[in-house]
Amino acid sequence: MTQINPSGIKMAIREILSLIRERSVVREAWDVTFLIAKCFCGFHVINTYVATVVLPYGPSMIPTLPITGNLLLAERISTRFGLVGPGDIVLVRSPQNPRIVATKRLIGVEGDSVTYVVDPGKSDRRETIVVPKGHVWVEGDNIYNSRDSRNYGPVPYGLVQGKIFLRMWPPKDFGSLRNSSVKNPPSDEVQSLNKASIVFFWLKNMGYSVNRRMFDVLV
Amino acid sequence: MAGQWRSVAKDAVDRLLVIAKFGCFLHVTTNYLCSSTLVHGPSMLPTLNLTGDVVIAEHVSHRLGKVSRGDLVLVRSPENPRKIVTKRIVGMEGDRVSFFLDSHGDRYRTAVVPKGHVWIQGDNVYASNDSRHFGPVPYGLIQGKVFFRVWPPDSFGPLGRD
């Protein structure tokens, strides 16, 4: 076992003190902190204004989305300009619990007349409602097990947080969720084409939507 | 010559990066800490003036669930999602709220604020379009809490519960 050299320790302490006095360590620490803060700000701005990753959980969007295990990409640009229409899957902050952001399908925008089954498990009773100004009507694809506008009414558009356009995980289901419909699943041809040119399709379709827009006037 | 252009381009990119970084920092501060807003309109008389006040709003409390009755809040309007209005919270979820249906004050109605919603009203009940017209507002539409007034100078000072 080597003997601890007291003069060596003194030299080490003197060196550490001189480093701190020169402030190079402190400056480096400050630089690293600043860099982390800048990266965090940049990442956060992208997350809030461009696109975000969503991990949906729950049975309310079966068969489109399983209970768990899917990773989706949602973009926030369309919702800012009101470019969402019926058929889109959107992120909606729940009016009943503001900390939860749910994934539902947009069924109607303001002015639409929506007919919905009130309680599909118990009866076939349908009701029709006109969606008021500034609101949207959302429903889960699995109407037997979904808390949506049929429970809490039309949702103010300000609570719509993003539009889902891509499923990233699992890899076998990788593909676009744009204008996907439970009734008309995309054919094999369209699916493979989507998988091959996903970015091209998204860029091409970003400016407009097949369905009607929420706002008539584009910013 | 090409070297000159490259250095100019590099300079431009550097400056743009500085501006972008500052923009990000400013944006995060404005959205998550504190921001200033110009508010105008008759619906909050006499608390806020008709012709426009500059107020400071903080964006921390509503994320922590710490807004309550009597607070002045910025709320995204449920009728027009591009408009942000300033109103006072009169009822939280579970409260019974009574309000008059007309200006004479003859008939009144009572409502219970549902879960996850708040009831907002302007201080000037005669000229305010608020929860008495569009119903309780989901808590998620609250954008911030107004706590200070900066302009006009003779009304400089904190704003809050009466």
Strand partners, A71: A169
Cβ-based contacts under 8 A for chains A and B:
60
Q: Which structural domain range is residue A203 located in?
A: 185-219
- Residue in A130, A133, A60 with CA at minimum distance from that of residue A92: A60
Question: Averaged over B131-149, what is the pLDDT?
Answer: 94
- Interchain contact A165–B (C-beta under 8 A): no
Note the pLDDT tens digit of each residue in A143-185: 999 999 999 999 999 999 999 999 998 888 888 887 655 443 4
Task: Read off the CATH number of the domain in which A148 is found.
Answer: 2.10.109.10
Interface of A with B in 43-62 (CB under 8 A): 44-45, 48
pTM confidence score: 0.76
- Interchain contact B116–A (C-beta under 8 A): yes
A115 and A178 co-located in one domain: yes
CB of A113 within 8 A of CB of A128? yes
A70 and A150 co-located in one domain: yes
A111 and A206 co-located in one domain: no
Chain B residues closer than 8 Å to A147 by CB: none
Angle between helices A24-49 and B2-32 (to 10 degrees): 80
- Residue in A133, A177, A157 with CA at minimum distance from that of residue A80: A157
Contact residues for A132 (Cβ-Cβ < 8 A; gap 6+): A110, A154, B79
Please give the share of chain A, as a percent, with pLDDT higher than 70.
79
The interface predicted TM-score of the complex, written ipTM, equals 0.81
Strands (E), A109-196: 113-117, 126-130, 135-139, 155-156, 160-169, 175-176
Question: Averaged over B127-151, what is the pLDDT?
Answer: 93
Count Cβ atoms below 10 Å from residue A133 Cβ, excluding itself.
13
The verdict on a CB contact (< 8 Å) between A134 and B28 is: no
Chain A residues closer than 8 Å to B31 by CB: 48
The verdict on a CB contact (< 8 Å) between A156 and B27 is: no
A144 and A208 co-located in one domain: no
- Interchain contact A38–B (C-beta under 8 A): yes
pLDDT of residue A1: 55
End-to-end CA distance of chain A: 75
Q: What is the tally of structural domains in chain A?
A: 3
- Interchain contact A159–B (C-beta under 8 A): yes
CATH topology of domain B2-158: Umud Fragment, subunit A (2.10.109)
Instruction: Determine the Cα–Cα distance for residues A27 and A48; give it in Å rounded to an integer.
Output: 31
